[in-house]
Structure 1
């Protein structure tokens, strides 16, 4: 009865457009007032404890680091460097965009920031070379999903807190899947480019130009080396890495590239905190929501119900993937992670799925939601940056979604892609 009241009231509130964080809180309060599963004091303490987590400090810090580096010219230097290598191939501008998104993903930690930073520079160039607007915008939107797969990733930090697993292990596990996504997108880009006759750049670089571009790109290339090298080398924790990334971002953007002024820093800081405030409110309230679920043993009941329906590991994973794909179309990613992790994690662990592997599966599923209407955060961003009608980009994104689903199935059923690197580096994956 408690579970029914909790979820029915939550769904009703969502249907009448109440924000997710508020809906979680009101559904919890309604359940407490009607059925008294826990006291208000316990609910309040759970909310505070949910936010009392050292890894969560990384969320606003990584958001700030990604924002300032995006505005500070790092993406432009990366594009110039990658253009030297890949620009001459068929569909070269598309390939350059994808590879740059992979690199920028190791800086920003979010999908929409990656789309904005790379799209603002690449889309005008692609349109000038007669690339189809819908194709180009869809490409950037899809490549931007790697922002939450390749570390550092804010979504992975949130999952690590919700699941009680190692942030470092998750970060390491996301590297190879992110590369697999990039390769798949490049293959499809080449296929479409040959069909549409999108030829590569004919430009020839002088030795002096190449040296200049490489030297200018070095500060940008050092970002993932500093962040990930410091984490994996045991020099600092992922949370401390977020602080280091923020300081480095200020130094590079303000004093080296000089594309951000000191007077701009308070505004960038405000935007980062504002963006993360909603996520942190949801995390706190969802901790109380989860406490009610735990006391009523709802996750165990749901797990038993699914496991009684079928014992097939393959079928259960397919059902969970379908559920997550559907949820990703209408629910904000971090909210979905916080709400669904306590429910789904007991199910997958019972069928032998590693929690780190499942974290990558969950984040990738929800990342596909970035390019799936009606939510489609990356679609909205690409639509605005590319000045393309949202309806048109919704139609053009379909083949890209299919490519992403193929990659999702590969990563789901070949766990070695996710777990090989952490095991090779002796990083805990439990």
Structure 2
């Protein structure tokens, strides 16, 4: 009965459009009233959830991403990517994938990647005659590289919950990100000929590439410094996030001078709002999942799955489908904090590698950002392109299928997740 009240009240509030973070907290409070437990427990669990040094990496990475966008770093990355592909047919589609990958290595956020790259590239693509639906669709999917290629906010959350190595999770994300890029390139190559995408007269020039690389040199150095600090053991993920903020500030404000001092406070405020939203979801989701465990529901779930005598790969496959379903109506951070404490103990009992399981959680959450109705990537792409979400969803279909192909390959073949560990 406890579980029915907990989930029932949560689903009712989602139906009446209560924000997810509030719905989780209120559902927990209602259930506590039912079992006659002090509601102050909610406050205690909320505080415990965010009382972690690892969680501090999230607001730092959010601020660093905003500083990079406003400070001209992302624009230089796009110019560097454009100099690489030259006069290839459909070249700007490749530029979009490469730019999203570069920016992903700076921001760690899918919607931030979509908005930053889309605002610069999409108008130019439309001007040159590229198909609008395909352009917006690829933007929504390629933006999903944000939480996969490190640093990644969702991986920081997962690593905190499971006490696993965030650095090893980042290494798995590198392999997954490269695989997704390759598949997107193949799809672009096929569609560019089939749909006769435009071809630029511009040719790859060593001089232009050198000039673009020189201009973007400081921008490209940021992921090297951040990831190098983590993998060398010099910096923790939280410390590397703080370094990213300082570096982005110095480059954007003092060197490139594209972020005026007058706009700095607006960037800080916007970052604070974005970080607060993420942290609030983590906090209330933790209280919700704690009550789920306290009521004995999680143990019942574990016992039920163990009674099925599933193999490790079968369990991973079932979890993948569960996460994909939840991702269609829950925000990724909420899904991670809500389900990982329930699903990971079973995975651990089956001998599943914690990094492999983390990649399954991370990539499935990214796919949720492209899948209606929640689909924050589609919302972000719609805000940039001014297209209807339905049209963007139609345009993303071939790229979305390719993304899912890589996901299930990683689900069924753990080696891809642990190859660099």
Both structures adopt the same fold (TM-score exceeding 0.5): yes
Deviates more, 1:206-215 or 1:287-296: 206-215
Residue 40 of structure 1: CA displacement? 3.7
CA shift digits 1:129-155 (9 cap, x unpaired): 211000011111100000000111111
* Residue of structure 2 in register with 1:152 after alignment: 151
- CA distance, structure 2, for counterparts of residue 278 and residue 203 of structure 1: 43
* Residue of structure 2 in register with 1:11 after alignment: 11
Closer/same/farther in 2, CA of residues 230 and 132 from structure 1, 3 Å limit: same
* Residue of structure 2 in register with 1:248 after alignment: 247
2:10 aligned counterpart, secondary structure: helix
* Residue of structure 2 in register with 1:32 after alignment: 32
Q: Which structure 2 residues correspond to residues 89-100 of structure 1 after superposition, within 5 A?
A: 89-100=88-99
Q: Is the 8 Å Cα contact of residues 378 and 389 (structure 2) preserved in structure 1? A: yes
Closer/same/farther in 2, CA of residues 370 and 285 from structure 1, 3 Å limit: closer
1:311 aligned counterpart, secondary structure: coil
- CA distance, structure 1, for counterparts of residue 69 and residue 372 of structure 2: 26
Q: Which structure 2 residues correspond to residues 133-144 of structure 1 after superposition, within 5 A?
A: 133-144=132-143
Q: Is the 8 Å Cα contact of residues 300 and 346 (structure 1) preserved in structure 2? A: no
Residue 333 of structure 1: CA displacement? 0.9
Q: Which structure 2 residues correspond to residues 12-411 of structure 1 after superposition, within 5 A?
A: 12-36=12-36, 38-204=37-203, 208-309=207-308, 311-411=310-410
Q: Is the 8 Å Cα contact of residues 112 and 381 (structure 1) preserved in structure 2? A: yes
2:192 aligned counterpart, secondary structure: helix
Residue 23 of structure 1: CA displacement? 1.6
Closer/same/farther in 2, CA of residues 287 and 207 from structure 1, 3 Å limit: closer
Closer/same/farther in 2, CA of residues 47 and 206 from structure 1, 3 Å limit: closer
- CA distance, structure 1, for counterparts of residue 57 and residue 27 of structure 2: 29
CA shift digits 1:355-402 (9 cap, x unpaired): 221111111011011111111111122122123222211222222221
Deviates more, 1:164-173 or 1:289-298: 289-298
Residue 91 of structure 1: CA displacement? 2.1
1:259 aligned counterpart, secondary structure: coil
- CA distance, structure 2, for counterparts of residue 96 and residue 206 of structure 1: 15
Closer/same/farther in 2, CA of residues 264 and 240 from structure 1, 3 Å limit: same
The total of aligned residue pairs comes to: 421
Closer/same/farther in 2, CA of residues 303 and 87 from structure 1, 3 Å limit: farther
> Is residue 2:416 matched to residue 1:417?
yes
Q: Which runs of 5+ in 2 are unaligned?
A: none
Closer/same/farther in 2, CA of residues 197 and 14 from structure 1, 3 Å limit: same
- CA distance, structure 2, for counterparts of residue 373 and residue 175 of structure 1: 27
* Residue of structure 2 in register with 1:427 after alignment: none
TM-score normalised according to structure 2 size: 0.95
Closer/same/farther in 2, CA of residues 76 and 415 from structure 1, 3 Å limit: same
CA shift digits 1:158-191 (9 cap, x unpaired): 1112222222221222110011111111111111
Residue 310 of structure 1: CA displacement? 5.1
Residue 81 of structure 1: CA displacement? 1.6
2:201 aligned counterpart, secondary structure: coil
Q: Is the 8 Å Cα contact of residues 372 and 401 (structure 1) preserved in structure 2? A: no
- CA distance, structure 1, for counterparts of residue 344 and residue 206 of structure 2: 54
* Residue of structure 2 in register with 1:425 after alignment: none
- CA distance, structure 2, for counterparts of residue 47 and residue 20 of structure 1: 15
CA shift digits 1:190-216 (9 cap, x unpaired): 110011122542214666544322210
Residue 420 of structure 1: CA displacement? 1.3
Deviates more, 1:76-85 or 1:400-409: 76-85
TM-score normalised according to structure 1 size: 0.93
- CA distance, structure 2, for counterparts of residue 265 and residue 72 of structure 1: 10
Closer/same/farther in 2, CA of residues 331 and 40 from structure 1, 3 Å limit: same
- CA distance, structure 2, for counterparts of residue 356 and residue 40 of structure 1: 35
Deviates more, 1:163-172 or 1:225-234: 163-172
Q: Is the 8 Å Cα contact of residues 155 and 333 (structure 1) preserved in structure 2? A: yes
